[in-house]
Structures are given as C-alpha cells and as structure tokens.
Amino acid sequence: MALNCILWDVDGTLADTERDGHRVAFNMAFEEAGLERRWDVPTYGELLAVTGGKERIRFDHERRGLEAPAAEDIAGLHASKTRHYQGLIAAGRIPLRPGVRRLLEEAYEAGITLGVATTTTPAALDALIEHSLGSEWFDRFAVLAAGDIVPAKKPAPDIYTYAMDRLGVTPHETLAMEDSGNGWKAAAAAGLKCVVTINDYTKDHDFSGADLVVSEFGEPDRPPVHVFDNPHGLEDLDYVRLSHLRAIMHG
C-alpha cells in the first residue's frame, strides 16, 4: 500500500519531553502541593511503565503499597503539573528530536495526511506544538488525538483507532512513529506498521516486530543514526528519509 498517513506519538518521539519536561513538572506540582515525594530520573523511568500522568501518580502510590489519593486530588495535582509543564515548554527547554521537523515538512509537502496519537494531555500537546514546532502545525496536523479522549491509553490501540476513524484512513495506508514499548504495542494492536526511535528511557524495551528501530531519525549533517532493527532491508540509513517510510509501506 502507498503511504497516505503518518500518525506521530509525541513524548519521546517528537521531543525528549519525559526526563526534563514531564518529570520536572510532576516534581514542581508535588512541591507546590506541599508533598515530600520527588521522582528522580531512574524512578521516573520505572513509572513510565504506565502511560498517562494521572494514571502514573496512582501507580506510584499503589506500587509502594500506599493508598492512592482520591481521583479529584489526583486531577488537581495533575492540572498543576500540566501548568508547570506548559511553563517549561514555553521557556524553550525541550527541542524537537533530530529529523522530526525535516520529515514532518517533507511529508506535509508531499500531501501525506499527518496526525498525532498520544496519551499526553491536550494542553501539554498544544504547548509543544506552539513553542517547539510552530503554530502553523495546529492546522497542518489533520487530527490531534490526545489524552482522555479515549478511556484506555497505550498500550491499548484505542488512540490510534480513534485517530484513523477521524481521518477516514485504514491501517494499511498508515504508519506510526513511536519511541516506547507501550507505544509500539498500541500501534501494532491497531494494525499499523511502526518506526521506532529509541531514547535513554526506552532503549531496553521490546520492539520485536517493529518495521524499523533506530536511535533517531537523524539529519544529513549529523553522524549516521544507529540502526537496531531493519527487517525491510532498507538501504542508505545514515538518516531516515521519507523514501524509507514509503518503502516500509510497500514492503
């Protein structure tokens, strides 16, 4: 099938938002609420097993054998976290990952439908689009599927299925871009082919069955990307090109 649609994960894929963005914002919210709890870098990596910030706060309590706060208290804490996250993003703390803008622009110019499928909160996504990508991308993405719009977050396929329904596209013509095991599982369960760009938090996740696993999308003027899995036998993978993404869909 031809490549007609690309659905992008956000956190870890468009930008490395987790360690220096979301994690820091959670800690600011804990401090603001007068709580002792802080999530250091390794602890946050363990908590990433659960997607969704509110779900993550609950999981952090439950795995320590503590009673989780009431749903409205978690929601209040998470709203504070989102405000802090917006501030960090607005301050320009988190750049796009290499190759993201290049591939987005090339795909957009080629008339490929582009969308977002993420578990993060819409307000957090909006901040990243406005400050890291540019406001024109609010119109260039044909769908922004985010957060609680579906009840079951990744690794459930629901957010991908929702985005495809909204766009009127099928899994056969759609490629997912992901960075994590949960994201890859969600894409696969939705019937999508998937390219994975790993990061420090996700490098040991299981991506068996993915269509390409690389260290980053890369750029012509950067050192060549590391290729961890290339089941389609793509060539010239010094950086990921739109032609590679098309070849994956044909393969």
Q: What type of residue sits at position 233? A: G
Phi, then psi, of 120 in degrees rounded to 5 = -75, 165
Q: Enumerate residues 182-201 that contact ligand XBP by CB under 6 A.
A: 183
x/- map, 37-56, ligand XBP, by CB under 6 A = --------------xxx---
User: Quick check: 9 binds Mg ion (CB under 5 A)?
Assistant: yes
User: Quick check: 12 binds Mg ion (CB under 5 A)?
Assistant: yes
Tokens of 187: 């894409």
* Contact partner, 154, from ligand XBP, Mg ion, none, Cβ < 5-8 Å per class: ligand XBP
Instruction: Name the residue nearer to ligand XBP (CB basis): 51 or 234.
Output: 51
Tokens 């250091």, located at residue: 40
Residue 199 CB, shortest distance to ligand XBP, in Å, is 10
158 given a catalytic annotation: no
- Sheet with strand 174-178: strands edge to edge: 143-146, 113-118, 5-8, 174-178, 193-197, 212-214, 227-229
* Contact partner, 22, from ligand XBP, Mg ion, none, Cβ < 5-8 Å per class: ligand XBP
- Residue 195 CA to residue 40 CA, distance in Å, equals 29
Instruction: Name the residue nearer to Mg ion (CB basis): 15 or 225.
Output: 15
Q: What is the CA radius of gyration of the chain?
A: 18
> Hey, what's the torsion of the CAs at 44, 153, 212, 112, to 10 degrees?
-130
- Residue 22 CA to residue 19 CA, distance in Å, equals 7
Candidates 27-35, 94-102, 113-121, 234-242 — which segment interacts with ligand XBP by CB under 6 A? 113-121
Residue 126 CB, shortest distance to ligand XBP, in Å, is 11
User: Quick check: 22 binds ligand XBP (CB under 6 A)?
Assistant: yes
Closest CA to 124 of 112, 113, 115, 132: 132
- Residue 62 CA to residue 35 CA, distance in Å, equals 17
Residue 78 CB, shortest distance to Mg ion, in Å, is 18
Binding site for ligand XBP (CB under 6 A): 9-12, 18, 22, 51-53, 118-121, 124, 154, 180, 183
Catalytic annotation, residues: 9, 11
Binding site for Mg ion (CB under 5 A): 9, 11-12, 179-180, 183
